[in-house]
Amino acid sequence: MRFKNLSQLKRPEPLTITLSRLPQQILMTVYARDKAFKINELIGAIFEESFEWYGFTLAHKDHPELIEDIGLPQNDFNLQDYTTLGSERIAEFQESLTEDVIINGWIHSHGALNYKHFSHTDEKNHFTVLDFVASRTRKPLAKKEVSVQDMVLLQKDRFEQKDIEKGSVCLITDGPITEARIMETVYGSFCYSIVIGDTGWHEQQIHYRERGILSGHMTVRSQAGKIEFVDTGKSLSQVDIIALNDEVKEKIKPHTDPPPELIERM
């Protein structure tokens, strides 16, 4: 048998049926944005200096794409500890939240520094957060055909040992069939990362993970994303600011004399 060209040898593209999509941009309430920058401001006022801090972006479990609030965990004064954001730390914070609130990302501030990008350390943290939040932001994205070479179709109670020895995958059905396609669900998860600075700048990324339930095929990727600020009518009130001021005093413990090697951690 001769082929005219190589394209005739290619297997047909696996069939994919899209079910839903992961967010292509970040949705954040005006309240959450104002709260993040207010934390920067309060740190400056309380400690008379600018410090870095980190927190989690929070969403309602029924609407995981929308950042509704900022959660401030206990920030360590040993700076090295949160260079690498551990999953236990995230779990601990998730446990402190009410049942309908989920973490959908993390946010941190570079304070007064003019370093307006994510660092290598930040990159590692993105994936720690993604690993943790993946099960909570997960949804079915597609049904995708699993290409099976050499599939053997058998009929229930009508095959012998020698039949099942053949092929790479056997599909046993209750009636005679001549063709079958196996479609697996591809689940997708995401998390957000936002870095901000005292002067009002922000940079952000979305991290994605997709996994085929049957093939186990997994892909992880990141992309820079725009933020769309959503005005839900909720604003940061004076009462909120007083409470946030107390929270900052309690949870931000600046290290006043960091060892020099830690200064590079950003």
- Judged by the rule CB under 5 A, the positions of this chain that interact with Zn ion are 119, 122, 266
Minimum distance from residue 242 beta carbon to Zn ion (Å)? 29
Lookup: tokens for 101: 């609130």
Q: Which residue is nearest to Zn ion (CB)?
A: 122
The residues, ordered by sequence, that sit 6+ positions from 161 with a Cβ below 8 Å of its Cβ are none
Nearest residue (CB) to Zn ion, 113 versus 177: 113
Question: 3-state DSSP call for residue 209?
Answer: strand
| Rounded Cα gap, residues 165 and 177, in angstroms | 19
Nearest residue (CB) to Zn ion, 22 versus 39: 39
Minimum distance from residue 203 beta carbon to Zn ion (Å)? 9
| Rounded Cα gap, residues 156 and 174, in angstroms | 5
Nearest residue (CB) to Zn ion, 111 versus 225: 111
Lookup: tokens for 125: 């943290």
> By the 8 A CB rule, do 194 and 182 touch?
no
Minimum distance from residue 202 beta carbon to Zn ion (Å)? 12
Minimum distance from residue 52 beta carbon to Zn ion (Å)? 7
Minimum distance from residue 83 beta carbon to Zn ion (Å)? 9
Nearest residue (CB) to Zn ion, 31 versus 56: 56
CA proximity to 68, closest of 225, 210, 236, 214: 236
Nearest residue (CB) to Zn ion, 32 versus 85: 85
Q: Which conformational region is residue 157 in: left (phi greater than 0), alpha (psi within -120 to 50 degrees), or beta?
A: left
